[in-house]
Chains A and B, each alone.
Chain A
């Protein structure tokens, strides 16, 4: 699998896919997409990178252990459910903050952060399985 062409192209492909996954994640509330799909795309990107350049380089590239990423995602998802309590609304009631930033309407919301949490959980959990499986192969 480790042909020169694949190894040369893989980093660019991975970067592009990760970028695309973030795009899919962010537009998810209104267009097809969302955290789950975005996470799957990013996980495939990392899998491709791993197959091409080895597990060690993937681990270096993502800095944190994939399981820590998943754990952080879960934490983010849980924490994003809390702000409503400060406004005396039930747990997980969505909160929206809309404002103009250089003439662009920006809508920040707790569901967005929740979705980012979902994204991170999916990327983390799947990559950690895939990388662990690949690792043995490369030894």
Chain B
């Protein structure tokens, strides 16, 4: 690999973000056909990463990096090894067809451009997550996937259910991200390393440190929330409110695997310990069983698939939790197989919904004649999901049975859990792929017919890939599975796969497979009874309260606590707030001086020119005018006099930038204050009694005195010239500017300014929102500005 090819990876991660920017424009002109052009972006990324397959399989790994804030060791750095390559290929490969699918699925939707945009933002975030080397980079992309997932789940934001699901997913996965950040911070302080590639070089440091247990649980907090492990599984089925392309891409094939990815990535560092081998199999196994049982209960195609996704994630976590090489190999194979068949099945479910008008499995039937291609690809994907030959799903299941039955501890329990889970998954696969298509024709809300090529291309590609990978077993094992497994074990590991089992007599995995299929077929035959049975058991107190409801209760508790705190702290009287704020300020500036008796010495009065005295006089007159002003408006304008005088003082003492700014700020604050005052519809005069005025006066004088004393005290300190000298010396030579103030603002301390303008923008938005809330626009108002705003 040349350095240029490695560095192109940075462009590959950036490309989806650029595509997100142009997608709405392209969609405006090309309508849904923009998808054909846009799909080229992930296709190129896929092609780029195929270039890494061969070198990575030879045991190489690569780093592409740009420094960002070197002194804080925050770098834009990416690490490409077997694990990252396979994930990147899955994301970009499936992403290509998701974009096409979204083109067909959202055809004619007014916001299709925005939808593409969000999908691309997610794609970029996900790529950054799986490739992230620097822990800060990884964390930022991790949270970015949560945010884009929020935007996509809530895409139909007019529906209350969508909004709730979106918020729920954001709170659970975003909150988990914060736990993860705490874990990362701990890792950094324990090991002193900030990048994965360095951490992987000495994997035992964390395991042997005294902080292993907290680090383990913090990392788990991030991984379990993201990958919907029990008891955090509830957000994933609710996320099915999103349009189907999102469910296929984020909530089955990629994003929900981020937690699994993290566990795989951290396996060399955290795996193999007793804690790991206890907690992960328990939660993973529980998630597997809960997921499959709840899946059988559903009749909505998407919800059935969603619960099996939960189950599959549980299976993966359980397998990783064994830390046994064969089981890890099974996890790797199953992860790839699952992404392929689940992505395909979701697209099939969406196509059925799109063409037939419903996705309730009890209202569908006999579609095989109307949608033959969709039926074909649904069967291919479902066979892989059922773990039947000759699909990649079969190989994965064989290997994972080898893994569970040979696991160092609790092999029997793990195997039974896996068999039951897989049998139930076979039931769901059959129900999703067969029920809508076979049997007598059922009247559907829309007259069903085959979808356009955009809708079946993805299902076709993914399901056929599941077949091809199984027939090229040698290549798959050596080029994909082996390198990925090496990342998990931390040592180079060879993998040899067999589509035809190498021996039949006494082959435990094969026996288990046959048992699984037999159990699955029996259960499918009795599916309606099974569903009724599960519904019968789950009715009652157990189902009336679950984590989903618990989530609502927690949120309601937070809201009512916030409301109570607000009622306690804010009585709605502006005067009280102002008085409190200024009293606290006065105490803050006066108390230290009082306690330490550190009052500054009375400064020597310098010699001022007569015009300087004149300006002081004007300022004081302005203040006097404020006090005696008859109306509020006059007082505001009078306050401006003092402000302008101060500006002139700045000018006289050699701070033109400051003077300039003060002048403009003063002008604008007078204008804005005057506008606010006229809006508040106050009486033009102040009606307070003399006593109240006295109290305010005392507070005002105290604050003013305190600030003045503080400033005098500060100026009497010896002045440290380090910074001034630095800026004077380098402003011209490094930053090419003579105006030091400006150079500091836009160059030396540019990041501060970037933060500040972000704050200004946000503050502007908030004030705008507040103004809108306080004054509902009257219906008969001039419609012109309203239209203008909405257009913008």
Contact = CB atoms under 8 A, between A and B. Distances in A.
A binds B: yes
Interface of A: 24, 28-37, 40-41, 43-44, 47, 51, 55-56, 59-60, 64-68, 70-71, 73-74, 77-78, 81, 85, 88-92, 94, 96, 107, 109, 111, 114-115, 117-118, 121-122, 124-126, 128-130, 132-137, 139
Contacts of B679: 133, 136-137
7 contacts: A92-B750, A94-B735, A94-B750, A111-B743, A115-B745, A121-B761, A128-B768
Contacts of A133: 672, 675-676, 679, 771
B747 A126 contact: no
B663 to A, nearest CB: 9
A109 B746 CA distance: 11
Contacts of B742: 28-29, 33-34, 115
Contacts of B784: 56
Contacts of A29: 736-739, 742-743, 746
Interface stretch (B62-70, B148-156, B202-210, B506-514): B62-70
B785 A47 contact: no
B782 interface: yes
Contacts of B741: 32, 34
Given A40-B665, A118-B757, A121-B760, A94 B676 contact: no
Given A40-B668, A91-B69, 9 more contacts: A33-B660, A34-B745, A43-B664, A66-B764, A74-B758, A77-B757, A111-B746, A118-B746, A132-B771
Interface string B709-741: 000000000000000000000000001111101
A85 B746 contact: no
A30 B738 CA distance: 4
A65 B789 contact: yes
A90 B69 contact: yes
Contact of A40 (B69, B664, B743): B664
B682 interface: no
A64 B792 contact: yes
Contacts of A109: 736
Contacts of B781: 139
A30 B739 contact: yes
Interface in B741-777: 741-743, 745-747, 750-751, 753-754, 757-758, 760-761, 763-765, 767-768, 771-772, 775
A64 B758 CA distance: 19
A122 B763 CA distance: 11
A63 B332 CA distance: 55
A121 B759 CA distance: 10
Interface in B60-79: 66-70, 76
Given A29-B738, A67-B792, A125-B760, A55 B785 contact: yes
**Counting chain A CB atoms within 10 Å of each CB, which of B657, B676, B739, B760 scores highest?**
B760
A7 B708 CA distance: 43
Nearest to A126: B668
A56 B746 CA distance: 34
- Secondary structure of the A contact surface, majority rule: helix
A44 B747 contact: no
Given A90-B70, A130-B671, A56 B768 contact: no
Given A32-B657, A65-B789, A130-B672, A90 B67 contact: yes
Contacts of B76: 85, 91
A78 B741 CA distance: 20
B671 A117 contact: no
B739 A91 contact: no
A32 B760 contact: no
A92 B751 contact: yes
B581 interface: no
B661 interface: yes
Contacts of A56: 782, 784-785, 788
Contacts of A51: 671
Nearest to B772: A132
Contact of B757 (A40, A44, A74): A74
Contact of A117 (B70, B739, B757, B778): B757
B472 interface: no
Contacts of B736: 29, 94, 96, 107, 109
B763 A125 contact: yes
A31 B739 CA distance: 5
- Between B667, B751, B764, B788, the greatest number of chain A beta carbons within 10 A of the residue's beta carbon is seen for B764
B66 A67 contact: no
Given A37-B660, A125-B761, A133-B676, A139 B739 contact: no
B754 A77 contact: yes
A89 B67 contact: yes
A118 B664 CA distance: 15
A111 B750 contact: yes
Given A35-B746, A85-B66, A129 B764 contact: yes
A99 to B, nearest CB: 14
A129 B750 contact: no
